[in-house]
Amino acid sequence: MVSVLVAPDKFKGSLGADDVARALERGLLEAAPHARVSRLALADGGEGSVAAACSGRFSPEEIIVTGPTGQPVTALVAVHGRTVLIEAAAICGLGVLPGGHKAPLTATSRGIGQAVQYALAGGPDTVDTIVLALGGVATTDGGAGLLQSLGAVLAREDGTPVGQGGGALAGLHTADLTEARAALAGVDLVLATDVDNPLLGPTGTAAVYGPQKGATASDVRELDAALGTFVRRLQETGVADAARLAEAPGAGSAGGLGYAGLLLGGRVCSGADYFLTLLGADDLLAGSDLVVTGEGSLDEQSLSGKLPVALARRAGRQGKDVHAVSGRCTLPADRAAAHFRSVQALTDLTDQDCAKDSVLSARLLAQCGRSLADRWIGREGSETGR
């Protein structure tokens, strides 16, 4: 019996990772009912991270926290043993903005700190690892809201707290992170991201990601300057590593949440590789004869270590072939072939726009599953395409 591992990322805009996996599985089993198929929904730290974790060993828990504009939002965190996974996009993401109205200067990460408080509420004997899945946020506040939720003092010259959002950091006069740092003492804080931007400057969080959060050119300059003030005030008021950490790879992830995490003693790691390990991908690869992965777009960014390529590299170390299915593929054939035995793109199968059509995407994914089975599995007791 041929064992197949189906392990895709989400197809953003149309299907979550588990929905993609189920559609591919359906097509595979229609054409090769004798195959044994295992599903593994993947995430790399962005939107869908909690859902991917909960399709495996984690369990969801509902929390109510402050959203990016100050209004309450209901979100899920994922819990397994002494590990709690918090998805930033679910709490202060673009997708939870009321009415979709962006607030580049005032959006806050306060709810992330409240989620961390929730994880810590049971005391030091109940949690030893907190994973912040960083990506897809509406904020550019350097993680100031997160820090304030955990007890950090960020005050103006008159002693009152600075307001919410990155723009308010221009008025920061004094800072004290003592209480926030103490709250996470002894906890392994994992900052899961595949973004390596620093906090400030032309490759920083405001310049690179601000526009997609609604920031104008003027807003970008204002935010970068305010974040610069944030760093200087921290340095001046006793946070000796504030400037160094602002330059660290990943400090600019999730509007500067990466920076706040580093200030709290966290460690940046590849979101793709971390989630592959967290979800037990290596064991599933070891028991598989054929691997199918994919994401919405296979492109140059995929080669920087996004999930399908990260999975293919791990599979390659075990001598396993990997086949990719994507919404679209813009990689030259030779570059794709360096990682995947075959590639199918939904855009090659239809003239319709399937990027936001979940029904069409699922149907085409099932078609791709049937094609994979016909070519690479074949009749019961035999394999083809080898």
Burial class (CB within 10 angstroms; exposed 0-12, middle 13-18, buried 19+) of 86: buried
Range of the domain at 138: 49-272
Return mean pLDDT, the chain: 94
Q: Look at residue 306 in the predicted model and tell me its pLDDT.
A: 85
Q: What is the pLDDT of residues 341-358, one digit of tens each?
A: 999 999 999 999 988 899
Q: What is the pLDDT of residues 53-103, one digit of tens each?
A: 888 789 999 999 999 999 999 999 999 999 999 999 999 999 999 999 999
Q: Look at residue 29 in the predicted model and tell me its pLDDT.
A: 97
Whether 385 has a pLDDT exceeding 80, the answer reads no
| Distance (Å, whole) CA 278 – CA 295 | 19
Vertex 330: Cα angle to 327 and 336 (nearest 5): 95
Whether 320 has a pLDDT exceeding 70, the answer reads yes
Whether 311 has a pLDDT exceeding 90, the answer reads yes
Whether 199 has a pLDDT exceeding 50, the answer reads yes
Residue 162 lies in a domain: yes
- Beta carbons of 135 and 89 less than 8 angstroms apart: yes
165 and 70 fall within a common domain: yes
Q: What's the structural domain count of the chain? A: 2
100 and 226 fall within a common domain: yes
Strand runs labelled E in 305-354: 322-329, 342-345
Range with lowest mean pLDDT among 33-42, 47-56, 153-162, 233-242? 47-56
Strands 83-87 and 72-80 come out as antiparallel
82 and 33 fall within a common domain: no
Specify which residues 248 forms β-bridges with. none
Vertex 197: Cα angle to 194 and 201 (nearest 5): 165
Per-residue confidence band for 52, with pLDDT thresholds at 50, 70 and 90? confident
Q: What CATH number corresponds to the domain at position 227?
A: 3.90.1510.10
Q: Average the pLDDT over 250-254 and give the result.
A: 96
| Distance (Å, whole) CA 86 – CA 13 | 21
36 and 156 fall within a common domain: no
- Beta carbons of 58 and 81 less than 8 angstroms apart: no
Per-residue confidence band for 43, with pLDDT thresholds at 50, 70 and 90? confident
- The type of residue at 163 is G
233 and 180 fall within a common domain: yes
158 and 257 fall within a common domain: yes
Whether 224 has a pLDDT exceeding 90, the answer reads yes
Residue 320 lies in a domain: yes
Residue 111 lies in a domain: yes
Q: Look at residue 47 in the predicted model and tell me its pLDDT.
A: 85
Helix then strand then coil, in percent of the chain rounded to 5, is 40, 20, 40
Q: What is the pLDDT of residues 158-172, one digit of tens each?
A: 999 999 999 999 999
230 and 342 fall within a common domain: no
- The type of residue at 367 is Q
314 and 233 fall within a common domain: no
| Distance (Å, whole) CA 314 – CA 319 | 9
Q: Is 164 helix (H, G, I), strand (E, B) or coil?
A: coil
Q: Average the pLDDT over 184-189 and give the result.
A: 94
**Within its chain, how far is the Cα of 60 from the centroid?**
17
Residue ending a domain, choose from 253, 272, 291: 272
Strand runs labelled E in 40-122: 59-66, 72-80, 83-87
Residue % of the chain over a pLDDT of 70: 98
Q: Look at residue 380 in the predicted model and tell me its pLDDT.
A: 58
Q: What is the pLDDT of residues 253-288, one digit of tens each?
A: 999 999 999 999 999 998 889 889 988 999 999 999
210 and 82 fall within a common domain: yes
Q: What CATH number corresponds to the domain at position 21?
A: 3.40.50.10350
